[in-house]
Every structure is written in structure tokens, then in C-alpha cells.
Structure 1
Amino acid sequence: MRTLPIIPVAVLALVTLTACGSQTVSGDGAGAAGHRALTDLPYTDVRWNIESLTSEGRKTTAPAGASLHFPDGGTVQGNSGCNTFRADAGLDGDALVLGQVERTMIGCPEPAADFEETLLSVIGGRLKADLSADEKKLTLTDSGDGDTVTLTAESPTPLLGTKWTVNSLITGDVAASVPAGAEGAAHLVLGKDGTVRGNLGCNTFTGTAKVSGQKIALGRIASTKMLCDGAKGQVEAHLLKVLNGQVTFSVQHRGLTLTGPGERSLAAVAGG
């Protein structure tokens, strides 16, 4: 496993992780000189759920929400289960070559932080991509030390009927993970019957929700009346500002982003 440099954590700062021996590939869809674009390959038009990685003989199961995809001919994008990341990508012969890996810098609790560091170390270089006969499994193998990442093809998670567990609170361009003591509590389910229900981090709630295009018109939220302070109160106050009137949503793989008024947003992952 390659060793990554130690980088101070700064919320949503974009940093570059340089893996030893990695090669930089341009992100213009054409690849760098000598590298072909990732076009017409069976794994490039699929969103892949990261199942596990094996490094130095140790297999680790991926956290919920970890995913990877190739949105165009020259890049790879993904989510480690905490931070999002991207890199330029191309083909050098039969090798998949990834350039410098860039990621957001939300503070990740353990074991997600350790998984992220190992994942980015494994994929930051030359890889062999093996696709199963049914095209449902993809294995990326580090050409240098044989570390592997195992992925499974997955359709985008449906907006309606899914339990979305909040894992990030966003204000403007600044995102922060759910504070310690409130992890996993806040969630919501948008029903096919035009309702929304869930937990705000402390109190449970219900309301109406009408989906149209990429927008959701939310009616007045009714909730229980427990007094909420500390981390749970902080999460609840943020969610009440997001779930207020008309919100915009985006579903990507197993992730949901809801953006409400006043530049307040939340990110959530399916399940939890």
C-alpha cells in the first residue's frame, strides 16, 4: 500500500493527494499524451458500489455510501463513505491510469477515516480492471502491490420509499459531518402517497411532500415537542431550516442532497 502525505483537515477544502508512482492524466476527456480516453468500455457508464478493499492482506468492508463512477472519458469520481473525490483517468495499454486524487476534507470518524485513506492510496496509480462475465462485479487491482477494490454495479437509489440518513450539514459552500452524539439519528422517508416522515435529530416529524421535477414542495412540518440541546439540537435546528417550503433535490447513486432556502442543505445516504 502506498503511503499518503499527512494533510491537515479543513472542511470542504480541496486538496491533492499524490501517491508514489502515480501518473497524472488530463481531465479533458481525451487523456494525457500516450493515454487513451475511457470511451466505449462496459464499466464506464455504470455507478459502482464499493463493497470492500483488500490491502496488505487485510480485507475491509466499505462504509455505507462508498461509490465510484466514470462520468466521462477522462475522469473518475466517487465517495469514500465520507468525502467525495475525483481524479483524471485514462488508459495506458490495458492499464487504467489514475492521476492525482482530489477530495473534499470533511472530518471523518473512525473507521471511515482509515478506510478512506487506504482506498485513495490503492486507487491512486496504475490499475488492472477486471469485469465479471455478467458485468455486475468490477475488481480494480493495484499493478504495483496487488491491493484490490471490489465493486458491485448498482442502479440509482429511488427517491421515494428510501430511508435517507443525514450524514452532512451544509451551509453555503461549507459542509460539516453530523456532530458527535447525533450520528445516525436524523433521517427522512418520502412516501409515494405524498408524505414525508422521519426524525429531525431529536424529535420525530411528519408532513406533506409533493415532488415535481427536481423540486419538492413541503407542507408545514409537525413534530413531537421534546426539548433538544447539544448536538441533537444543532442538527434539528439545521434540518428545520432546510425542510422549509420548496427544496431542490439531487440523487446520485446512494446519496441524496436537499437544498432549502437560505443556502442551507443536507446530504444523506440510503439506509443507515
Structure 2
Amino acid sequence: MRTKLIVPGTAVLTLTAVLTLTACGTEQGPGSGGASDVRPAASFTGVHWSVDSVTVDGKKTTAPEGAHVLIGTKGRAEGNFGCNHFGADVTVDGETITVGQAQRTEMGCAKDVDAFERTMSEAFSGELKAKRSDRTLTLTTEKGDTIALTEQRPAPLVGTKWTVTSLLTGDRAASLPAGTEKRAYLVLGKDGSVRGSLGCNTFSGTAKVSASGSTITFGRLATTRRMCAPPQMTLEGELGKVLQGTVSYELDHRSLSLTGTTGESSGKGISATAS
């Protein structure tokens, strides 16, 4: 799935330019002499971990929706601090993870989310001790601060509530208008229907997923007619351009992007997260 680097103002780059997932590091274990010396892959790698909370100096802060970490098996970790995406080199030795300096996007975030991101990025660095219990994982820093995580399974395209998190234009992305966060969403039904909210007004209609699994064709949407605040009307106008006709879609675990393919919607799109 495309992941965007979002920089304040108009300077916007693709995240892949910064977070190139090359083999910058390797997962390591003690010994290299023979098969008996190779330690099995850690049980917490290759898992999509949703961040529940971060506790620093005894103060627990609940994570915003969408914060997650994926510790790869090839020396990289990537995820989302709560608003901005990140990537970092990691070394795994048994139950110890050493996290290098993270590269991150620079999207403007709500004040409380921005505060959590700073806390999370500081905690998820340096040497961490990992302790897994069933579907939960606790990462502990050298100072004793902790990050609590829960394993999250992939979200299906149909039946999931997809909350809109950003607007896309070609290879660029922008945060939602201030005050409209977490208001817009859509749910695709098994019967070929779609329903949701444009940020203020609700809507319903038809949505046919192609057999190839790459496009969705939206029929004409029926919406309510409430008057909304200017930021909400701006968001509704942008979403209305996307949710019409045939759009391409990309589904990556618990993230979804929709991009228009024809007319005035061509190249315009949205990113959304399962909620």
C-alpha cells in the first residue's frame, strides 16, 4: 500500500523515499558457527501490534486509534506513532530489541495526539526488553518505562468501519480539516451496499467490488441535507469527489486507500484506518 510522507505546508514527499525497506540491518542472534547456534526467530516479529498505551515515569497515556508497530524480520520496524508514520532500523537478539533513530513523516496532528507521538517516539528507541504473553506484548526501556501492545489481525475490506484519516492528491497527502478528525467513515456491506458519514451528513448507496479485487464502483450516493460547519463542508466536498464511479483501492492489514480513476476524481483519494 502507498504510504505518504506529509510535511507541513506544501512540501510533501512519498514516505517510501525515506523509509525504503531495504536490508539495512538483519535480525541477529548469538553465535554463527552452526545450526545449533542459531536462535529461533523472536515470537514478536512479523506481527502487527496495536499500541495500547505508553507509561513513562509512572504516568500512563492511552494511545490514539491507529498507533501501531510492526517489527520486521529483516532489520526494520515500521508503523504509526498515532498520526505520523515512521520507520527505523532494529536489531533483535533473543528478547532484546535495539531500535535506531526513527525517520518519520511530519503531518500536523491534534495537540493531544502530538503529545503522545513525542512520548511514544522517545520510548520506542534504544534497547528494549520484550515480553510476550499470548496476544499481548510489553516493551520495557532501560529506564523502566513501558509500551503496551496487542496483536491485531488484518481487517477485511467488507464489514469493517473505515475511518478516514487523510486526503490524497496524486502522490501527495494532507491532513483532514481541523475539527473533522474521526468524523468521516464508510462501511461496505456484503450485499453490495455502502453507508457512512461524510463528516457531518450521512450517506448510503451501492458499492460493487470487482472480481479482480482492485477496484470498487460506487453508485449515486443518497445523503442527508444538514447544514454543517465550514471545515465539515470542505471535507464533505472532497469525499464526494472520491466516492463516485470507479475507484482503485489498496488494502494493507488495517489500512485502506481509495483513489479515483476518472474525471474530476482522477488522482484524488482518501486513506482510512479500521476502527
Shift of 1:256: 2.2
Farther off after superposition, 219-228 or 45-54: 219-228
In structure 2, the partner of 1:47 is 48
CA gap 1:165/1:30 in 2 versus in 1, 3 angstroms: closer
Counterparts of 1:94 and 1:137, CA distance in 2: 14
In structure 1, the partner of 2:250 is 250
**Letter aligned with residue 238 of structure 1:** E
State whether residues 84 and 106 of structure 2, in contact with CA within 8 Å, keep that contact through their aligned partners in structure 1.
Answer: yes
**Letter aligned with residue 274 of structure 2:** A
In structure 1, the partner of 2:114 is 113
CA gap 1:214/1:81 in 2 versus in 1, 3 angstroms: farther
Farther off after superposition, 257-266 or 28-37: 28-37
In structure 2, the partner of 1:199 is 197
CA gap 1:125/1:14 in 2 versus in 1, 3 angstroms: farther
SS of the equivalent of 2:235 reads helix
CA gap 1:35/1:174 in 2 versus in 1, 3 angstroms: farther
Counterparts of 1:63 and 1:35, CA distance in 2: 36
SS of the equivalent of 2:233 reads helix
CA gap 1:39/1:221 in 2 versus in 1, 3 angstroms: farther
Shift of 1:190: 0.6
Cα deviation, 1:52-75, whole Å, max 9, x if unaligned, reads: 111121111111111111244111
* 1:134-149 mapped onto 2 (5 Å cutoff): 134=134, 136-143=135-142, 145-149=143-147
CA gap 1:33/1:64 in 2 versus in 1, 3 angstroms: closer
In structure 1, the partner of 2:208 is 210
Counterparts of 1:38 and 1:259, CA distance in 2: 44
Counterparts of 2:14 and 2:124, CA distance in 1: 18
Q: Identity over aligned residues, as a percent?
A: 46
**Letter aligned with residue 73 of structure 1:** K
* 1:121-160 mapped onto 2 (5 Å cutoff): 121-132=122-133, 134=134, 136-143=135-142, 145-160=143-158
What TM-score do you get using the length of structure 2 for normalisation?
Answer: 0.81
* 1:25-36 mapped onto 2 (5 Å cutoff): 27-28=22-23, 30-31=25-26
In structure 2, the partner of 1:22 is none
State whether residues 208 and 218 of structure 2, in contact with CA within 8 Å, keep that contact through their aligned partners in structure 1.
Answer: yes
Shift of 1:108: 0.7
SS of the equivalent of 1:63 reads coil
Cα deviation, 1:121-158, whole Å, max 9, x if unaligned, reads: 111211111111x2x11111112x12111111111122
Q: For the aligned residues, what is the CA RMSD?
A: 2.8
Counterparts of 1:38 and 1:29, CA distance in 2: 20
State whether residues 196 and 207 of structure 1, in contact with CA within 8 Å, keep that contact through their aligned partners in structure 2.
Answer: yes
**Letter aligned with residue 52 of structure 2:** E
**Letter aligned with residue 168 of structure 1:** S
Shift of 1:238: 1.1
CA gap 1:229/1:114 in 2 versus in 1, 3 angstroms: closer
SS of the equivalent of 1:236 reads helix
State whether residues 14 and 105 of structure 1, in contact with CA within 8 Å, keep that contact through their aligned partners in structure 2.
Answer: no
Shift of 1:224: 2.8
Within the candidate set 176, 179, 185, 2:177 is matched to 179
Shift of 1:251: 3.0
Shift of 1:117: 0.8
**Letter aligned with residue 194 of structure 1:** G
Shift of 1:32: 9.0
Farther off after superposition, 112-121 or 235-244: 235-244
**Letter aligned with residue 59 of structure 1:** K
CA gap 1:172/1:30 in 2 versus in 1, 3 angstroms: same
SS of the equivalent of 1:106 reads coil
In structure 2, the partner of 1:81 is 82
Counterparts of 1:96 and 1:67, CA distance in 2: 16
SS of the equivalent of 2:66 reads coil
CA gap 1:111/1:237 in 2 versus in 1, 3 angstroms: same
Counterparts of 1:228 and 1:185, CA distance in 2: 12
Structure 1 spans left out of the alignment, 5+ residues:
1-7, 16-25
Pairs aligned (count) = 251
Cα deviation, 1:178-220, whole Å, max 9, x if unaligned, reads: 2123223211111111011111123222221112313212222
